[in-house]
Amino acid sequence: MHYIDGEPMMVSDTVALGDDRMGRVVGSIDDGVYTDEHPESAWAYLGRGVMIDFPQWGLLHYQEPDADLQLVCRGPASAS
């Protein structure tokens, strides 16, 4: 999946949703890449999209890009 600007979403990206609501991409179902804390076995059944962990709301599944979701910075390539 990609951000609205066309940049690819990657596991470990820090993202913002609206004002000061930061989250972290923890799984890319499309790419088959997940963090150790959120393994493929837990989320692959969703079929497509990404999982983003927001401290305020918990895990959110996105199947399509959201215009309000912005890349803040790339995280370390520590996903498996």
pLDDT per residue over 2-55, tens digit each? 999 999 999 999 999 977 789 999 999 999 999 999 999 999 999 999 999 999
Is the pLDDT at 72 greater than 90? The verdict is: yes
Residue 2 domain-assigned (yes or no): no
- Asked if residue 56 has pLDDT above 50, the reply is yes
Check whether 74 has a pLDDT greater than 60.
yes
Largest CA distance in the chain: 32
What is the model's pLDDT at position 21? 87
Which pTM value belongs to this model?
A: 0.90
3 lies in a domain?
no
As to burial, measured by CB atoms within 10 angstroms (0-12 exposed, 13-18 middle, 19+ buried), residue 15 is: buried
In a domain, 40, yes or no: yes
Residue 77 has pLDDT above 80, yes or no: no
In a domain, 7, yes or no: no
What domain range is 49 assigned to? Answer: 14-73
Q: For residue 67, give the 3-state DSSP assignment.
A: coil
Structural domain includes residue 20: yes
Total number of domains constituting the chain: 1
